[in-house]
Amino acid sequence: MGVVSQLGKLPLPPGGKKMLEAAKLENVAVLARESKETARSAGSLRAAEAPTPKTPMKCIFSVDVEDWFHILDLPKAPQIGDWDTLPSRVEQNFMRLLELFDAHQTRVTCFFLGWIGRRLPHLVREAARCGHEIASHGYAHRLVYQISPEDFYRDALDSRKILEDIAGVPIWGYRSAGFSVTYNTDWFFDKLIEAGYVYDSSIFPASRGHGGMVGGPRTPYWIQRASGRLFEFPVSVVDVLGKPLCFFGGGYLRLSPYFVIRTMAKRVLRDSRPVIFYVHPREIDINHPRLPMNRRRRFKSYVNLRSTLPKMTRLLKEFPLTSFEQFIRKDIQGAPTRDEVVEGLLRIVPLSDSPPTTASSRAI
Ligand SMILES: [Zn+2]
């Protein structure tokens, strides 16, 4: 059964029928656009597909720690100068998530905005105390393709240093705002290496509102540059009717019925890839304030918020979920050093199994 027809089985909010129709139309438009893009880059994509890793794959769970007003690319979204004046809801939501993870004895990766770390440092410390990995979501939540390489570097470096100071442990992982790395921002990987990161999870190998790299690599792989190396964990996608779709985070996870998420997750695992799940604290908060936006974005941003916690609970019961750090480090005790993280990543994918240049640079 197709994804679009599955959507018809979801419980809809008031006015949801019209919004669902809009989403279906948008799905068709997205599929048509993807089809053109995929055909255009087909030659380079075959070469870009990363090799199959050697280790058994688990599922990785991540939280992008930001507040309800950190929704991207809205004309009326509050600017960073106003964020301090807005009522924060991230604390109550994030603490609820920590309780849920604790109840299931699961450690996850928390990609904190540096801005959140500076405003609410106790959240970073509490997550670290509970054994979760602290990683960086940048400082100011800016779309990669809208800023200069130099501004991006400063933002990525600042957030890493702020979070390291608060958590008292080194930060190795990065995720961009809105998975906004694209084929036109190839400098992104160089700047992350220069800013001291070891791994990244920002490639979204499917079409999306903010960037995305349709046809990009799906399997974890090394990006090798003159300035060093970076390990990439692309967000998980599954082909449906020949098109890559994500069922594992954000609006995709909220829209999809649980049995579809479970089935698709098993397909990713059968393909020897880790499933990478992601949520935002606001997604478990059905009463958080709404930002003004058009009907289509409203549907994407707020549909099925009440389904997030029940789906997470089932995932925590049914899948072996862990953090990026635990996935990488295996049996290392205490905070791993850079060398230990690199060694762990090399066990997952040897350098000899990675392409000599990045998939993104080859596909440009
Ligand atoms: Zn974000």
Q: How far is the CA of 200 from the centre of ligand 1 (A)?
A: 14
Please check whether residue 123 lies inside any domain of the structure: yes
CA of 44 to the centre of ligand 1 (A): 29
Residue 115 clears pLDDT 60, i.e. is over it: yes
- CATH number of the domain bearing residue 107: 3.20.20.370
Residue 353 maps to a domain: yes
User: What pTM did the predictor assign?
Assistant: 0.83
Distance CA 151, CA 130 (A): 33
Query: Residue 140 C-alpha to ligand 1 middle, in angstroms?
Result: 10
Would you say 47 and 362 are in contact if contact means Cβ atoms under 8 Å apart? yes
Q: What is the whole-number distance in angstroms between the Cα of residue 71 and the centre of ligand 1?
A: 7
Q: What confidence tens digit (pLDDT) does each residue in 196-233 have?
A: 999 999 999 998 887 899 999 999 999 999 989 999 99
Q: How far is the centre of ligand 1, averaged over its atoms, from the C-alpha of 172 (Å)? A: 18
Q: Is residue 77 part of a domain?
A: no
Question: Which sign does the torsion angle of CA 159, 165, 167, 169 carry?
Answer: positive
Cα-to-centroid distance, 332 and ligand 1 (Å): 30
Cα separation, 183 vs 232, whole angstroms? 15
Which two structure tokens, joined as six digits, stand for 238? 């599954």
Task: Read off the pLDDT of residues 315-342 as tens digits, 9 standing for 90 and up.
Answer: 999 999 999 999 998 766 778 899 999 9
Say how many Å lie between the CA of residue 258 and the centre of ligand 1: 23
Give the distance (Å) from ligand 1 centre to CA of residue 66. 6
pLDDT-based confidence at residue 72 (cuts at 50, 70, 90): confident
To the nearest whole number, what is the mean pLDDT of the chain?
84
Q: How far is the CA of 70 from the centre of ligand 1 (A)?
A: 7
252 Cα: distance to centroid of ligand 1 (angstroms): 15
**Mean pLDDT score, 53-69:** 82
Count Cα atoms within 13 angstroms, Cβ side, for 206: 19
Rounded (10°) angle between helices 149-167 and 121-129:
60
Domain presence at residue 12: no
Establish if 34 belongs to a structural domain: no
- Residue 325 lies inside a defined structural domain of this protein: yes
Using CA atoms, how far apart are residues 239 and 206, in angstroms rounded to an integer?
A: 10
The number of folded domains in the chain is 1
Q: Which domain holds residue 293?
A: 52-71+86-363
- Torsions phi, psi for 155 (to 5 deg): -65, -45
d(CA 197, CA 160): 8
Q: Is residue 45 part of a domain?
A: no
Kindly give the distance from the C-alpha atom of residue 137 to the centroid of ligand 1, in angstroms, as a whole number: 7
Is 223 inside a domain boundary? yes
